[in-house]
Each structure stands twice: as C-alpha cells, then as structure tokens.
Amino acid sequence: MTDRALAVVRAGALTTVQDRGRRGHAHLGVPRSGALDEPAAALANRLAGNGPDAAVLETTLDGCSLRPRSTVTVAVTGAPCPVTVEGRPVPWSAPVRVPAGALLDVGPAVSGVRAYVAVSGGIAVEPVLGSRSTDLLSGLGPAPLTDGAVLPLGAPPARHARVDTAPQPAPPAELVLRVTLGPRDDWFTRTAIRAFTSRVFHVSPASNRIGLRTTGPALQRARTGELPSEGMVLGAVQVPPDGTPVVFLADHPTTGGYPVIAVVRPTDLPAAAQARPGTPVRFVPVRRR
C-alpha cells in the first residue's frame, strides 16, 4: 500500500498548514485564519491538480524542505524562491513531479514573505471546526511544522493541472491599501486623518499573521478613554495607544477595544501578506460602496 505522507526535513522559520479558513465562527471568538495570500494558495492548488479546499503549506521567508513517501505533484507559488528536487533546480509556479523519497527544497524568498506549497491530494491533517488551518492566535488546528514531523496526504486527484505555469503579481515595492474610513474615524483629529491618508508608513518587523504593524507618524486622538470591546473584521485598521496603525490579517482577534480608523478592501490584503519589513505603506481612502 502506498504511504501517502510527507516528512518534514527542515521546517523553516514558520511553516503552517492553511486552507480557506474556518469562516462563520466569529461569534464564538474564533478567527477566520486561512492562507494570508489566498490567490497564491489557490493557484498552487490548481497547479497541483487539487480542488480549492485542499490544505497547503504556508512558509515564511526561508522556505522548508520535505520528503514525500510516495510520488507526488508539487507546486510552489507566492513569494518567488528557488525550488530544487534532490539538488536539481525545478520551476517555481509550475507543477513538478517529485519521486518517492526525493528531497524537495523550497528555498528562501527572493522577494516577498510567504510561499505556498501545494501537494497533490492536499495536506490531510484532521480538520477543526471545518478547517485544517493553523490559527496562531487561538491555537486551533495543527501546530506549526517542526523538523521530523510527518504530515498525511489525501488521495491523489484524478485530474491533472490545466496549465503548465501561471503568472503571478510581484511582491509590492510599495503597499497601497484602499480603505473605507470608519467606523471610529471620529475618534481622531482632522490632522491625524490627513496624516493617515497622505503620509507614508512602513511595514514593521513586528508584523505577523495576526496583523500587519506599521511604523510612521503617530495618529492623535480627538477623544480620550477606551471603547468597550466590539467586533473586529478582516482588514480592520486598529490604532493602539502608540498611534501607529495595525491592519488585521487572517488570525486577528474577533473583538477589540482600540478604535478602528478604517477598513482595508479585501482584495488588497493578499499584497499585505507579501510586504517585507520596511516596505512603504500608503492608505488611500475610497468611497463606501
């Protein structure tokens, strides 16, 4: 019987299992989680012949090394990086056949932050609340990968990828986030609103899957005190007491007491997943739909 499993030789700085997330549980205090760069994860699954719900691996900056126990098709997308099989270079953003026992190495990101590794059949860890995603905030789902771990794989798909390779947007040299102001923009001075929508911020090294933190001008409040905790959504731009905006990403808390000055358009968030520390950030206001 074929052993459908994947041995982790090098886990990397932070590699997690991710799928499309556990939606619909915010009322229970459970974040959505899921792949931060959803289009890249979806493309990796398509190239590997998987359905859209298959779980993939999300690496952070320095990739990972894996050894399948049966022959698989693999695709690596997201942050551009060198990919090798038994030391031989193979294409990035294309389906690659990896023989049983061969070493697949996903190298450090040349640009961007997160690469996505899809394996034919998908990562078949046990789902929690309908998702296989690792949630770093609540601790739900599988733990981040460690050296020597073994991941089960699902049954190989019957169909093959419909494309041999696919273009992807480059990681941003400047991150432009379209925002709708509110609901708590009235907690800030007019000068702060102008600074938020006209000044340049930068991605902080403290950013993670919970939120993209920024450095830059501190936004001054027009009101003192704190809000009662209220619901938070993906893309909410919360401003803590130090005045620097934080963009909530997939593992964000479902409630919070700091004022939300604006909300980022969902279609702009995948680029935030690939913005390296130091990347310039601009918040561009758009009209409510």
pLDDT tens column, 94-108: 999 999 999 999 999
Please state which architecture CATH assigns to domain 175-285.
Beta Barrel (2.40)
Nearest to 133 by CA among 26, 254, 31: 31
Mean pLDDT of 258-275: 97
| pLDDT(158) > 80 | no
Mean pLDDT of 36-42: 97
| pLDDT(80) > 50 | yes
| pLDDT(161) > 70 | no
Residue whose token pair is 């009101």: 223
What does the pLDDT read at residue 282? 98
| pLDDT(288) > 80 | no
What does the pLDDT read at residue 1? 40
What does the pLDDT read at residue 19? 98
pLDDT band at residue 54 using 50, 70 and 90 as cut-offs: very high
DSSP bridge pairs for 230: 256
User: Distance between CA 120 and CA 132 in Å, rounded?
Assistant: 16
269 near 235, Cβ under 8 Å? yes
Tell me the per-residue pLDDT of 166-207, one tens digit each, with 9 for 90 and over: 677 888 899 999 999 999 999 999 999 999 999 999 999 999
User: Distance between CA 84 and CA 105 in Å, rounded?
Assistant: 5
User: Distance between CA 100 and CA 112 in Å, rounded?
Assistant: 30
User: Distance between CA 73 and CA 90 in Å, rounded?
Assistant: 12
What does the pLDDT read at residue 160? 64
272 near 213, Cβ under 8 Å? no
71-80, 162-171, 201-210: which range is least confident on average? 162-171
What does the pLDDT read at residue 223? 92
User: Distance between CA 124 and CA 55 in Å, rounded?
Assistant: 7
List, as one string, the DSSP characters of the chain: ----EEEEEE--S--EEE-S--TT-GGGT------SSHHHHHHHHHHHT--TT--EEE--SS-EEEEESS-EEEEEEES---EEETTEEE-SSS-EEE-TTPPEEE---SSSS-EEEEETT-B-PPPBTTB----TTT--SSPPP-TT-EEEB-PPPSSPPS-S----PPPPSSEEEEEEE-SSGGGB-HHHHHHHHHS-EEE-TT--SSEEEEESPPPPBSS-S-PPPEE--TTEEE--TT---EEE-TT--SEESS-EEEEE-GGGHHHHHTPPTT-EEEEEE----
Residue whose token pair is 């952070």: 60
Over the chain, what is the mean pLDDT?
Answer: 94
User: Distance between CA 231 and CA 49 in Å, rounded?
Assistant: 38
156 near 95, Cβ under 8 Å? no
CATH 2.40.100.10 residue ranges for the chain? 175-285
